[in-house]
Amino acid sequence: MLNNLQQQPADALLALIKLHNSDPRADKIDLGVGVYRTGDGETPVFGAIKAAEKKLVETQDSKAYLGPEGDMGFVEALMPYVFGKANPTQDGRIEGMQTPGGTGSLRLAIAMAKRAGVTRLIVGKPSWPNHNQICADLDLEVFEFGHANADGKTDMDAVRGAIAQAQPGDAILLHGCCHNPTGIDYSNAEWDEIVGLIAGKGILPIIDLAYQGLGNGMEEDAYGLRRVIASVPEAIVCYSCDKNFGLYRDRVGALYVLAAEKDGLPKIMSNAHALARANWSQPPDHGGAAVRLILEDEALTKQWLAELDEMRDRMRLMREKLAAAGKTGGVDLTPIGGQNGLFSIIPFTPEQVQAMRDKHGIYFAGSGRINVAGLTQGNIDKFIAAVADVTA
């Protein structure tokens, strides 16, 4: 029977990694893999995580099962950073659970939304490819709208049009900050408008917050999510610690649900737990426990936030240098300076993407998405010169 399965296309990013690794040139540049890199090109373990892991080894006295909800100490410790310190539970209307990374949270959120009666997910285009893949696997219809204009700004007309066409049973997925793959975020004023439109339509918002702290700051990056939470009766939040704690391979995420009434939360979370049980039984514990230990310790929290500030500042510097190059060959790099997070899209043609690889040893996705954190003081001039060469 297994011979009935159809061959699936290779993952484009994994193929890109292999191409880069096999390139013998010493000055090759990897702008494809979506991880943070230092000015030396390394993806380090946070010092705060190292300290928390040491403490965990010394104090953890059991590896017994925790249940499908995972480490609730981790889930609760994270809430003030997500929803605000003043009222993180929104008067008891928010409850959460741990998930295997942001992907696990999204899978669970979309499956739960479908079980609740959602028949279509409204998604901005372009988006992280896995959003559509999860919907396809769950047989949930996707309705796409244009997220950004060619000038590097949000396409609010497309957003308004998509929400105006929303129907009963629709949900809308929004990136909380540091949009993947464009880096183009909604302004606070645009979030205010979007929230009003969503509330007026009564559709279910699903917020993907995978990069908090990598845009403009922990508080600033939560603005849109908090405006949504304050303005609608129900919402789902998908959170990832993989980036802002550097825990990529440990798969650390959380799912939070805002219920119309706090009395409805037990029923809602029972469905979330049942779906998690059927998918992964329970999430891996180590990374979540390390995050919990950081957030429970004032000194470790301060160290983590300082390390996060350093990451954000380095990426901002790379963006400023790209923007300062302005019109480079046939493309304008200026808008990149106003974008956020790891990613931006440069409008290369497929032939230009290939030329960047073949002529200059610079690797990134075929869509033109670059990982800004792959640029350093030592290679950014080469990158700008290569852009000018292939797009002239």
Torsion of CA 377, 378, 382, 383, to 10 degrees: -50
Query: How many C-beta atoms surround the C-beta of residue 87 within 10 A?
Result: 15
Q: Which of 358, 364, 321 has the alpha carbon at shortest distance from 345?
A: 364
Would residue 63 be called left, alpha or beta, if left means φ above 0 and alpha means ψ between -120 and 50 degrees? alpha
User: Using CB atoms within 10 A of its CB, is residue 283 exposed (0-12), middle (13-18) or buried (19+)?
Assistant: buried
Report d(CA 57, CA 133) in Å as an integer. 37
Report d(CA 41, CA 364) in Å as an integer. 15
Report d(CA 347, CA 285) in Å as an integer. 41
Positions marked active-site: 128, 208, 243
Report d(CA 209, CA 82) in Å as an integer. 9
- Which residues, in sequence order, are CB contacts of 313 under 8 Å at separation 6+? none
Please answer whether residues 210 and 244 qualify as being in contact, where contact means their C-beta atoms are separated by less than 8 angstroms. Answer: no
Query: How many C-beta atoms surround the C-beta of residue 144 within 10 A?
Result: 15
Q: Are strands 343-345 and 362-363 parallel, antiparallel or unpaired?
A: unpaired
